[in-house]
Amino acid sequence: MKILVTGGAGFIGGNFLHYMVQNYPQDQMVNLDLLTYAGNLETVKSLEDKPNYRFVHGDIADRDFIMKLFEKEKFDIVVNFAAESHVDRSVINPEIFIQTNVLGTQVLLDASKTYGIKRYHQVSTDEVYGDLPLNRTDLFFTEETPIHTSSPYSASKAGADLLVLAYYRTFKLPVTISRCSNNYGPYQFPEKLIPLIIIRALENQRLPIYGKGENVRDWLYVTDHCRAIDLIIRKGKEGEVYNIGGHNEKTNLEVVKMVLKILEKPESLIRYVTDRPGHDLRYAIDPTKMERELGWKPEYTFDTGMDKTIKWYLSNKEWWQRVMNGEYRNYIKNMYDKRLIER
């Protein structure tokens, strides 16, 4: 089988490629990535000499390029990870989120339809369901929870999901969608909470916590997400949505304090800063469908996953020091300087 993995130079797509290249030597993996600020070929460097792996540089929203690529390569399966993925950036510049996440998805769907792809899988997010109240810990997102988005990022992901389901109903394109909770693990770009906190704590810098740090996220180790997607593309039912999560809800403050404890750094590094506009309160996934229909269960607990993650950041300083270039420093300055001074 030939599998197109888009966004494979990013965090989850990169981890997915490591998993797939190792576990399926008989399948061919093609990694298509635009190499935006979040894409990094160092993430997949150790795959370069593998016979079942290849990299292609390009934009999922470039219709001519994508059509030619599909015509030439004759993919069996498409797994679309490529996206603008950071909520805070979508507050500053929504347009690129529509371009990549919505229009890019539509181009991939058209190419999949034209060239008879056997399975198109859309990597979506639990953020399409909006948020849950902090004081209703009995409520969870199921696949039937209505779409109800908060940020330009989540709205763009929801738009893409609706297109995917429309191509199933209207054109009978064999699609599946997965909606996962927050991931953490190796190779995550340090704009996201966990790697940002690990790196800043290592450098004894102030740790920005939005609002009161009471918002809740449902954390999953990235390899558990990758295993779930692999199961869905092989055994999932066409036209279906699958929620992925491991019942691991934590407040942001709990997560930050855990990182500090493991790194033996003081809590005095914490700074409460101006909240994210439209900040979702709580995410919590009900993964019953994945468990019952596909026999999936997470293999990592938060303790084992965080231990692995922190060890990875400690022994891969070169990887994260290289991504902290001029663009990154400008982003951090624009995003946090004013916030840190205000409170």
Site residues, ligand DAU (CB under 6 A):
85-87, 125-127, 181-182, 192-193, 196, 208-210, 215, 217, 252, 276, 283
| Residue 252 site contact among ligand DAU, ligand NAD, none (CB < 5 to 8 Å, cut-off depends on kind) | ligand DAU
Of these residues, 59, 127, 218, 230, which one is catalytic?
127
218 and 249 Cβ atoms separated by less than 8 Å: yes
Q: Which is nearer to ligand NAD, 90 or 340 (CB)?
A: 90
How many CB atoms are closer than 10 A to CB 288? 12
Estimate to the nearest angstrom the gap between the alpha carbon of 140 and the chain centroid.
20
Q: Which is nearer to ligand NAD, 17 or 201 (CB)?
A: 17
Relative to beta strand 119-125, strand 77-80 is parallel
Name the minimum Å distance from CB 85 to ligand DAU: 4
Name the minimum Å distance from CB 165 to ligand DAU: 18
Name the minimum Å distance from CB 59 to ligand NAD: 4
Name the minimum Å distance from CB 183 to ligand DAU: 7
| Residue 90 site contact among ligand DAU, ligand NAD, none (CB < 5 to 8 Å, cut-off depends on kind) | none
3-state helix, strand, coil in the chain (%, to 5): 50, 15, 35
- Give residue for tokens 């390899």: 223
| Residue 215 site contact among ligand NAD, ligand DAU, none (CB < 5 to 8 Å, cut-off depends on kind) | ligand DAU
Measured distance CA(301)–CA(298) in Å, rounded: 8
| Residue 226 site contact among ligand NAD, ligand DAU, none (CB < 5 to 8 Å, cut-off depends on kind) | none
Q: Both tokens of residue 219? A: 């954390």
Q: Which is nearer to ligand DAU, 67 or 96 (CB)?
A: 96
| Residue 12 site contact among ligand DAU, ligand NAD, none (CB < 5 to 8 Å, cut-off depends on kind) | ligand NAD
Q: Which residues form the interface with ligand NAD (CB under 6 A)?
A: 6-7, 9-13, 33-36, 38-39, 59-61, 81-83, 85, 100, 104, 123, 125, 157, 180, 182-183, 189
Measured distance CA(29)–CA(51) in Å, rounded: 9
Of these residues, 126, 131, 224, 280, which one is catalytic?
126
Estimate to the nearest angstrom the gap between the alpha carbon of 148 and the chain centroid.
19
- DSSP codes joined into one string, 134-198: TT-TT--B-TTSPP---SHHHHHHHHHHHHHHHHHHHH---EEEEEE--EE-TT--TTSHHHHHH
Measured distance CA(143)–CA(161) in Å, rounded: 12
Is 126 a residue of the active site?
yes
- DSSP codes joined into one string, 269-328: GEEEEPPPTT---B--B--HHHHHHH----S--HHHHHHHHHHHHHH-HHHHHHHSSHHH
Name the minimum Å distance from CB 125 to ligand DAU: 3
Q: Measured at CB, which residue is nearest to ligand DAU?
A: 125
Of these residues, 53, 120, 153, 242, which one is catalytic?
153
Q: Measured at CB, which residue is nearest to ligand NAD?
A: 10
Measured distance CA(338)–CA(322) in Å, rounded: 25
The residues that are catalytic are 126-127, 153
